[in-house]
Amino acid sequence: MTWVLVDGENIDATLGTSILNRRPQPDERPRWDRLVAFAERVWGQPARGVFYLNASTGIPMPFVQALKAMEYVVVPLSGAPDEKVVDIAIQRTLRALDGRAADLMLVSHDGDFLPDISSLIGPPRRVGVVAFAEFRNAGFNSLTGLEKFDLEYDARVFDAPLSRVRVIPIDEFDPNTFLG
């Protein structure tokens, strides 16, 4: 089993602030069902998505219902204004996975998870991080054994290409992409 833990706040903030420079339109948001299908396909086993939401100001019911229809476990959280409730919940989940025989894909750019992720890496468990590669915390690059996936290029969760500037490995370079 692969657990796919989604830091929804982090992905949404990175998409809006760093890539689009505005709030994403509904058709520009990730297709979360594709993420679980990607995890199943890449590691060849069932996957289960867990989506963490900061619900301190209320639950976005249409979004929660859509996630539940995709069979995500939805975790709405609340706390004091200075608490990073989503981070706290993901860190607790990572620690709880330590004693379980399961693989893990974390969907976040956040370096706050590095200590917990590093303690989970090692056979027979597979551990991956899914994010926009250019915004992923650099600390993830130093974790030997961590598999890294790009949310757009590997997981293919978007309907249309995003306007990103990224370093292209020469083996992936296709000049036709730029020539139109």
Residue 153 is predicted with a pLDDT of 92
Cα dist from 128 to 50, 109, 123, 155, whole Å? 15, 12, 13, 12
Structural domain for 115, as ranges: 2-179
Q: What is the pLDDT of residues 85-99, one digit of tens each?
A: 999 999 999 999 998
Regions of the chain where pLDDT drops below 50: none
Q: How many structural domains are present in the chain?
A: 1
Sign of CA dihedral 169, 35, 29, 139: negative
CATH of the domain at 91: 3.40.50.1010
Instruction: Give the pTM.
Output: 0.91
